[in-house]
Amino acid sequence: MAKPKIAIVSTHPQEQIDVLLSLAPPDMDVTSVDGRLSEEDKIAICKDVDAVILLPADLPVKVARACPRLKLIQTLSAGYDRLDLKAMGELGIPVANNGGANAIPVAEHAIGLMLMVSKKLPQLWYTTSKERKWRGSFSAIGLHDITGKSVGIVGLGRIGKQVARLLKGFDCKVVYHDVLSFPHELEKELAVTRVPFEELLRTSDIVTLHVPLTPLTRHMIGNSELGMMKPSAIIINTCRGPVVDEKALYDSLKAGRIAAAGLDVLEQEPTPVNNPLLDLDNVVVTPHMAGSTEETIYRSAAFAFENIRRVLAGGTPESIITPYY
């Protein structure tokens, strides 16, 4: 019996692809496909595949339509905004994300950004290590604890829940807003309280964003929302750049209407070198790496191959993405 064919379509570095290939089950025929190839070249390689693994989550509808045996599109990321879910649904092809495989690193990165911004760690490191200036007793003005602060989590999915768990160690008062309701038992376990979006913005010392990018969440943080926040508040974004109106954020930060931001994602990536956010001292930017750790690669691969095996056996895949239309 022929092995099922699986294609890993990716633009990531080859060493990461090699790790994924090394983790492939021996009873699957797994090959890698350069995500930069033309649609026609991708079709030529993928036309007889049973499943596709994506890193990042990007597959043209034309390619999917040309693969009659395709039973599952499996992303290794949590995000899926590059995929046309409606078109894939019409083709009868389910789309699944990584089942929370990156929840731990993204949550840790969000906490890291909170600490970096609150304690101005990048500036302290640069002044000490690169400028060789010892300013230990210079001033503590503008440096803050996160312990005991009020933190608002926007989106209590797998990553948001993990952020809440980590914040318990900082004795923070944690509130959240989500379009879904969660059982009281879970809220008690996580020590979180559900509040309206506007209340979260007005009362939180730190607002951290953990929502998917959809038409409903694009620019959900704009001038109006930033205007509701405390002048001392910090905003953290480790989900998708376009969730925040970048110009509105810049204007608010520049004018001191909010205190600072920690951003792993931006509206355009790679961001232009002249992005004015990069010139602000109250902004810490990292290059969309929150979910990228060696441990995540192994967790994501294990979940992906098991999910594919489940589908090939006639079962229902886990972590299916529900279209927003």
Domain limits, the chain: 5-101+293-312, 103-285
In angstroms, the CA 136 to CA 274 distance is 32
Sheet holding 72-75, edge to edge: 29-34, 5-10, 51-55, 72-75, 95-96
- Residue 138: per-residue pLDDT: 60
Fold for 5-101+293-312, please state it. Rossmann fold (3.40.50)
Helix (H) / strand (E) containing 55:
strand 51-55
Q: Kindly list the catalytic residues.
A: 240, 269, 288
Give pTM, 2 decimals: 0.93
In angstroms, the CA 53 to CA 39 distance is 16
Q: For the chain, 325 residues long, give each residue's pLDDT as a single digit of tens.
A: 789 999 999 999 899 899 999 999 999 999 999 999 999 999 999 999 999 999 988 999 999 999 999 999 999 998 899 999 999 999 999 999 999 999 999 999 999 999 999 999 999 999 899 999 887 766 667 899 999 999 999 999 999 999 999 999 999 999 999 999 999 999 999 999 999 999 999 999 999 999 999 999 999 999 999 999 999 999 999 999 999 999 999 999 999 999 999 999 999 999 999 999 999 999 999 999 999 999 999 999 999 999 999 999 999 999 999 875 4
Q: Answer whether 5-101+293-312 and 103-285 agree in fold.
A: yes
Q: Which CATH number fits domain 103-285: 2.60.120.20, 3.40.50.1980, 3.10.20.740, 3.40.50.720?
A: 3.40.50.720
In angstroms, the CA 260 to CA 194 distance is 24
